[in-house]
Structure 1
């Protein structure tokens, strides 16, 4: 990061397989740096939004907007910012790449943590109040442990989501600015641009090895460790296992170097004052709410007017209506694909989540499939569409859901794995089977997790439309009519007013979809389907 920016031109990315270990290490370091930032962001925003209704009124819509902004939309503005912040240094473009990966990881983790805190069992909350726990102690001893099982699975999904967009984050092209950071993403982008199929295969193999390594050495042990935080009255017979976790437990040196004392001391450390809801006079609370809503509306209108003023300098009303029409086409693709993915993956995820032994086998495979970049399938997709003369508007659509359907799978697996063992035993004792078992036990239990997965999958599909609605391989260039293709072309051309218009329209559509569909489902899950 301390190297001068000119070194990227002196030592460009090359398609030598011998360089892949170095590129893989660089990419992995960027992804874990972004993951660390995503965890900090998740703990802060998720806790504040869950505890404060007024903060929730800003944080929840802000998360809706941020998850709808495509990664190319962030890169359009952040590359210049980071390069200006660290002029002439690789640190600027490294910061831009890490921030771009952060934007593909943070939102679903924040939504998962927020959903877990909002569905916290009421009796546990009463016990925390009865013991007089401070906000800091309540967070460390109750809220964080309760949210860990779902957060672990969403963290794995975030890593895979980062791989899905790693090509865009490392091989940056915005207008006249082109930067290729050494990494698997830029290696893969170069291989696709020169149609080197062998190099593409090498990149995919390297990505698979890296995913397998950090799955076995990090995520699988964390899943086994997080099982102790499941909310249940009786012990489960089937527990997730990890050979590396067992090895660490049997290692004498690690037992001697005990880390338990700092962990136990954490709740006693004076922590930050986190917002807590306190009862107010109803009339005073109503007045505060009116002022707060008015402030939010005023800021939103001011921001919208500023963007409109910037965009209308070069774009007419007709152009804006065309973009809205393109957004409707992308919306139809998103809704149809989410429905298809739900029908396919919810039953499979429930089956996996209820069987920890199978979960151990499926986990690395699912991570690899979730990380599989859509760009790798361009040669196959473009070749089949051209050979069979298919309609790109239909047959490029599956590429949108390729990397986002796994949000549903991972979240529902987490939900099924978190079903209390005593609830399963009660269902077995009363002979609840078949459809009644699905209707009265499983679907209500996994519904809050499904909503989180579907919401983030929906936002991810809008993001993926930029990659999926425009596909190229060699001399063949295919394009599906939609908002993603519009933003991709505007970004490549460096047309910032069109990029801004596309991002604003995408954000509006995502917010409307979330507010009319996913948010009411969140509310229903919080009121009717929480464990109490």
Structure 2
């Protein structure tokens, strides 16, 4: 029987080791070629699109329609993807800055978190009606103004749930890791990269996926902007579907759906699957996952020299940033001034905030009284209550369905490998692309739109709950799972004592963003049309859509404010107490 040494010696004599080395070198070279080709392809696509984005507006102004030739769909899809990821980049920057400010400053947090409730409740049509003129003035004579308005609209459908997720991760960091950061006296910059970002990576990544899905859902409204009795149409797959629906071209709608499926699958394969596999290293657990997530794209990147290049470039930059940020203080220092000065500052801060709020309310009331009338306030409040009932019913139904499914997927790597791409595709697919077909179904089956729009709203909002629950379940430490099995817990006892408490905080985050998304989705789901047939449900969403299209600013402001009031009150009365309960009793890191 040959020894281990003799086996290796024979392999060296036969030349097996050099062959193995040459094989690794060949794979590395192939990976480098693929990575370089991919980078060049992305840069080439961006370079080809930039001149189109900044094109001058002709004598006829901005076109009010686009061609529905199916051969243009790849170009339209590329324009839409370009807008989507520019908006995602701005959403990420907003998330980091806003989330850190709200988590690290007690006074700012008292203002920023309620303000975030208001921001997520304001519909994208409300933002567009208030900002479209500003963007056109900033970029006169260029279609870039409308492009900026469209990207801003997509941003407003992406940023809020990412910010909620990041803020929650910051507020629920493991105490032992926080103490370690303080003992090591990390600078605030070092703490951000070594603790804040890794701890929030998994839920933030899942919410990035959901944000892209939310952006697709509002793609039509952001590419075919109808405000103030004017329509601005940008080349994109969302405006293509709207135009084909108006012309009753079912075949072209089918081609657009097929194109969108291809786009979503490619994004999942090239971006989301590699990122979720890479993010597994940030899980807080004493054991490695039983079955690691894999990605062909990530494997190619790891076999290439891209990591070496990034490390060579990044390390000197990181060292310089570490030195530059040291004057900002270290983690061990207090963020706030304690004692009498702190209490005086709190009083002054509250007085200023109250004075500004009262002044704003007085101006708002005078404007609404003169432009819409006092009676219109009660009418809009009644419409808001109807939409509120739909939102609460929808949130309850989606929670009952998706919490157990999401928990099972998040805790089972085999299920996650199979269902995660499917879920990402379904969540990223713009459900309103199917609205023309659903409208025909409602008409054929005589389904009341007042009930049928619950289905339409759920197509765009149920994924917030599912994605957050999957992220929460996947973050359950392996040792707790093994302990529950070792103790011989039954299925119900395991769900009662481990799984449901562990995902409760994630469900709260998903629930509050799903409810906010449902309010926004009511605008595009309470009024649906195909050709010359339009179905309109009674509610606040259809009222906002109509007043925005008419350019009636007093009614638009009144309806947007009413929606914000409903969302903020529900969050304060219902969701925030549940989140505090989750932090106090069901946090795995407490």
- TM-score (structure 2 length as normaliser): 0.86
Q: Given that residues 67 and 107 in structure 1 are in contact (C-alpha distance below 8 angstroms), is that contact kept between their aligned partners in structure 2?
A: yes
In structure 1, the residue matched to 2:543 is 486
Q: 1:328 to 1:23 in 2, by over 3 A?
A: same
Q: Number of residues paired by the alignment? A: 531
Q: Hey, what does 1:508 align to over in structure 2?
A: 565
Pick closer, same or farther for the CA change 1:429–1:281 going to 2, 3 Å.
same
Cα contact 1:404–1:457 (8 A) shared by 2: yes
| Matched residue, 2:482 | 425
Q: Secondary structure at the match of 1:472?
A: strand
Asked if the contact 1:338–1:457 (Cα under 8 Å) also holds between the matched residues in 2, the reply is yes
Q: What is the Cα deviation at residue 263 of structure 1?
A: 5.2
Residue 14 of structure 1: aligned partner: 67
Match for 1:285 among 311, 328, 342? Answer: 342
Deviates more, 1:253-262 or 1:417-426: 253-262
Of residues 341-350 and 443-452 in structure 1, the stretch that sits farther from structure 2 once superposed is: 443-452
Aligned equivalent of 2:109 = 56
CA displacement, residues 83-125 of structure 1 (integer Å, 9 cap, x when unaligned): 0111111110010000000000000000000011111111110
Per the TM alignment, residue 488 of structure 1 is displaced from its structure 2 partner at its CA by 0.7
For 2:324, which of 260, 263, 270 is the aligned residue? 270
325 and 258 in structure 1: CA distance in 2 versus 1, 3 angstrom threshold: closer
- How far is 1:282 from its partner? 3.8
Shift of 1:286: 2.8
- CA–CA distance in 2 between the matches of 1:312 and 1:43? 39
Whether contact under 8 Å (2:210, 2:463) holds in the other structure is yes
Report Cα offsets for 1:317-345 as digits up to 9, x if no partner: 11110000000000000000000000000
Assess, with a 3 A threshold, how the Cα gap between structure 1 residues 444 and 11 changes in structure 2: closer, same or farther: closer
Contact 2:383 2:539 in 1 (8 A): yes
Distance 1:259 1:418, change over 3 A: same
Matched with 1:259 is: 311
CA distance in 2 between partners of 1:64 and 1:277 (Å): 28
Once the two structures are TM-superposed, the CA of residue 433 in structure 1 deviates from its matched residue by: 2.6
Residues 1:145 and 2:202 aligned together: no
Contact in 2 for aligned 1:211/1:364 (Cα 8 Å): no
- Which residues in structure 2 correspond to 1:20-419 (within 5 Å)? 20-251=73-304, 253-254=305-306, 257-259=309-311, 262=314, 266=318, 268-271=322-325, 273=328, 277-278=334-335, 280-419=337-476
Q: Give the match for residue 500 of structure 2.
A: 443
Higher mean C-alpha deviation, range 237-246 or range 256-265 = 256-265
CA distance in 2, matches of 1:337, 1:263: 49
Contact persistence 1:4–1:89 (CA under 8 A): yes
Q: How far, CA to CA, are the matches of 1:340 and 1:506 in structure 2?
A: 22
**Aligned partners of 1:374 and 1:468 also within 8 Å:** no
Render the CA deviation track for 1:205-257: whole Å, top value 9, x for unaligned.
Answer: 11111111111111111111110001112222122111111122123x43553
CA RMSD of aligned residues (A): 2.0
Q: CA deviation at 1:147?
A: 0.4
Q: Which runs of 5+ in 1 are unaligned?
A: none
The residue that corresponds to 1:499 in the other structure is 556
Q: Supply the distance in 2 between the matched residues of 1:255 and 1:335 (Cα, whole angstroms).
A: 47
Displacement of 1:304: 2.2
Match of 2:574 among 517, 520, 529: 517
Q: How many Å separate the matches in 2 of 1:315 and 1:265?
A: 56
The aligned residue for residue 467 of structure 1 is: 524
Stretch deviating more after TM superposition (312-321 or 140-149): 312-321
SS in 1 for 2:170: helix
Q: 1:432 to 1:265 in 2, by over 3 A?
A: farther
How far 1:519 sits from its partner (Å)?
0.8
Partners in 2 of 1:264 and 1:49 — Cα distance? 30
**How far apart, in 1, do the equivalents of 2:191 and 2:499 lie?**
29
Q: Following superposition, which runs of at least 4 residues in structure 1 exceed 6 angstroms of deviation? A: none
Gaps in structure 2 of 5+ consecutive residues: 1-52
Which of structures 1 and 2 has the bigger CA Rg? 2
Structure 1 residue 141: Cα displacement: 0.4
Q: Find the aligned partners of 1:129 and 1:313 in 2 and give their Cα distance.
A: 56
CA shift for structure 1 position 374: 4.2
Contact kept, 8 Å, 2:209 with 2:428, in 1: the verdict is: no
Distance 1:438 1:309, change over 3 A: same
Partner residue of 2:583? Answer: 526
